[in-house]
Chains A and B, each alone.
Chain A
Amino acid sequence: MSWVVLLLVVLPFVSAVLSLWVGHRGEVAERGIAVGAAALGFVLAVAVALPHLGDAEPLSHVFAATSAVGPPIELAFHVDQLSALMLLLAHTVAFLVQVYSLGYMAGDPRYPSYAALVSVFTGSMTLVVTADDLWALLIGWELMGACSYFLISHHWELPEARAGAVKAFLMTRTADLGLLFAIIVLGVRFDSYRISTIMGEIATGGFGRDDLWLPALLLTAAVVGKSAQFPLHTWLPDAMPGPTPISALIHAATMVAAGVFLVARAYPLFLSAPVALTTLALVAAVTMFIAAVSALFTGDLKRVLAWSTVSQLAYMFGALAVGAYEAGVLHLLAHGAFKALLFLAAGSVVHAVGTTSMSAMGGLRGKLPDTFITMTIGFGALAGVVPLVGFFTKDAVIGAVWEAAHEGHLVWPWVAWLLLVSAVVTAVLTVAYSLRAWLMVFFTPPVVEPVETPAATPERADLHESPLSMKVPLYLLTIPTVLGGLLVAYPGVAFAEVEHTLVHPTTAVLMTLLVAATAAVVYLLWRRHGGRDPWHPFVLPHPAVDRVYDVGVVRPVRLLARAVRAGDRDVIDGYADGAGATTRGLGWLLRRAQNGNVQAYLMVVVVGACAIAVAAGVAA
């Protein structure tokens, strides 16, 4: 079985190499490799994951280990319930994205590199979730960052794609330093890089409260960057110029999910360091609110979804911060399902309309019936409508926070209360922005004619539904979105032992009422504005955080760069140029002597001889 895990990690990389090798030589072969490898990966992931769900023993295997100085670095795998769930999620989404891309990316000249990078992305995520060695995890972690950079800048001819890619790369990479330092600190402290060993030692005790605050906070920094939490949350919405399937992959299954996964994987460490949990809770409380407000006002469909991802990730961190492990992980899975569905549906809309601006959409219900049905389910799950999966998992999160606010011991009660208020407000806002986006896309008549882009923008009259390869993944994703609630009801299927109940009737009823009330208000507002943007005159200013970064980081760095450049040109080059100039000057001087007049030469010789004679005489 452990060999299957290794195969599962290696397979996407092999497929990527094959993809690039085949390239444009055979379109069918190219697409066959990409989709076939993804399908095989899906099958293998199921084969690996299913036996390790529930109360099964985790699989742990070491293939090789270094024998250099210090703790060994191992090629080791550890598949427990969490890894199994993440494997299922990642490979399901990756497979569906590859299938979906057949239609979405049809005719794209850069399809080979795209498919290869998606494969590498999947392989990196597999490595992250299965690795039992911190360095292996770091490799997968960084590879994902690199892949996301390349995939966001897939349309590198667009300046915003390049800018978004660079922003994502710099922000996540800055935060990744936290992971690197955390690994070093943990390695020094435990004399091992084996995750299961370290976590086992922490779980068995022997460490006081906040003894391990340093690695815990470093890991917090890493996941804040990777999962786009405040204050590093601005890269995710700016990553939207990438192809929509990539957004689905990043938001649902790989990149940002890795942050939540890391917290879950290192959960014993976090539990032993409440300071990190408190930080996480505060970050989550701030992030979910800011992101929801941003989603409320943006006019771009994909940005709405991106902000909603940031907001929902904050829910997961909030749940993890108050000790609700299962609620957080389940919300991650549920979010993976419905966010992939939403992004793929949004991709279908974009595919048809040719733009991501919501004001150019509207009235698409009749034209895109399949997209309408699936996206409605997705938005419903996002808003938390009964009986979709989002309702159950969000309720599990809010219920856990509620309990923590009343009788929690991990974080101070006021932090839990703040988190609870923020979560409830955010839930209301989520309903509002989901409904707004849904109405604006499918009902409101369009204001702006669709922008003509060279990609594919048919006349509005012959707006067409997406091809089968795009519709099938959509419908497949509605299955977990609709039925995922069962997992919340019966968590024993996935988890070994569940301490708390995940169903909280009180909050569930309250939230349902809130959702209904909010929906009614938004609907009425929408009607009052004549079926246009419900809060038309209000616009959200540009995120202040970006301005802070601009003043605090970007400009000083630019200044420093300019200073360094000037220093290089005027000081370092000065030495080199000076050496050259001096040599040339001396050469010029010496050339003056070589004027061809032998008598002048001789005079110098005679004077020199006299000088030597005098010197010798004086010395004697």
Chain B
Amino acid sequence: MPLWWPLVLASLLFAIGVYAVLVRRNAVLVLMGVELMLNAVNINLVAFDAWFRDVLHGGQTLALFVIVIAAAEVGLALAIVLRVFRTHGHIEVDRLRELADRDLDPSTGSGRRELDRRGVR
């Protein structure tokens, strides 16, 4: 089997993950895109491990580590999502724009005041 087959599969999965991260509005769906990207990387690692067959087994071991880190990441991301949901009432990524650069106009309410109005602390 040519090596580029799994590599192309990984590339396609990665691109699909990128698409999800870029376009999905719901934070959980964005997370799914991230998972797809991580899996693409793992396929890469495993494929190269099958090619190198080195003593360290670096590909498979690192893939294992990536899975572990992904689990941790998902846990943290879930916490963050819940937190955002609690404070904002939604988890739509493109509506979370408190960090945008906007005019501090006293007549329309400064950025800080707007955050206060929304209950963000």
Residues in chain A within 8 A of chain B (CB atoms): 591, 594-599, 602-603, 606
Contacts and interface: CB of A to CB of B under 8 A. Distances in A.
Question: Which 10 pairs across A and B sit closest by C-beta, in order of nearness?
Answer: A596-B100, A596-B97, A594-B101, A597-B94, A591-B101, A595-B100, A603-B22, A596-B99, A599-B22, A599-B93
Contacts of A596: 96-101
A606 B97 CA distance: 20
Contacts of A606: 18, 22
Given A596-B100, A596-B101, A598-B93, 10 more contacts: A591-B101, A594-B101, A595-B101, A596-B96, A597-B93, A599-B21, A599-B22, A599-B23, A603-B22, A606-B18
A606 B22 CA distance: 10
B3 to A, nearest CB: 19
23 contacts: A591-B101, A594-B100, A594-B101, A595-B100, A595-B101, A596-B96, A596-B97, A596-B98, A596-B99, A596-B100, A596-B101, A597-B93, A597-B94, A597-B100, A598-B93, A598-B96, A599-B21, A599-B93, A599-B94, A602-B21, A603-B22, A606-B18, A606-B22
A210 to B, nearest CB: 78
A595 B18 contact: no
Contacts of A603: 22
Contact of A602 (B22, B98, B101): B22
A609 to B, nearest CB: 10
B97 A595 contact: yes
Interface residues of B, number: 13
A606 B101 CA distance: 22
A596 B21 CA distance: 16
Contacts of B22: 599, 602-603, 606
A591 B23 CA distance: 22
Interface in B19-51: 21-23, 30
Contacts of A597: 93-94, 97, 100
Q: Chain A interface secondary structure, helix, strand, loop or mixed?
A: helix
A594 B101 CA distance: 6
B55 to A, nearest CB: 31
A597 B97 CA distance: 6
A598 B31 CA distance: 14
Nearest to B103: A591
A603 B22 CA distance: 6
Nearest to A591: B101
A584 to B, nearest CB: 13
Nearest to A610: B18
Contacts of A594: 100-101
Contacts of A595: 97, 100-101
A594 B23 CA distance: 18
A597 B22 CA distance: 10
A597 B95 CA distance: 7
B121 to A, nearest CB: 18
A594 B111 CA distance: 14
Interface string B79-113: 00000000000000110111111000000000000
A599 B30 CA distance: 10
B94 to A, nearest CB: 5
A603 B30 CA distance: 13
Nearest to B97: A596
A595 to B, nearest CB: 5
B49 to A, nearest CB: 24
Contacts of B21: 599, 602
A476 to B, nearest CB: 78
Contacts of B101: 591, 594-596
Contacts of B30: 599
Nearest to B100: A596
Nearest to A587: B101
A38 B28 CA distance: 100
Contacts of B100: 594-597
A602 B99 CA distance: 15
Contacts of B98: 596
B111 to A, nearest CB: 10
B62 to A, nearest CB: 22
A598 B94 CA distance: 7
A75 B9 CA distance: 98
Contacts of B96: 596, 598
A261 B96 CA distance: 89
A596 B98 CA distance: 7
B92 to A, nearest CB: 11
A602 B17 CA distance: 13
Contacts of A591: 101
B7 to A, nearest CB: 15
B40 to A, nearest CB: 14
Contacts of B97: 595-597
A606 B21 CA distance: 11
A39 B23 CA distance: 99
B18 to A, nearest CB: 6
Nearest to B101: A594
A3 B54 CA distance: 106
A594 B99 CA distance: 8
A598 B18 CA distance: 13
A374 B94 CA distance: 101
Contacts of A602: 21-22
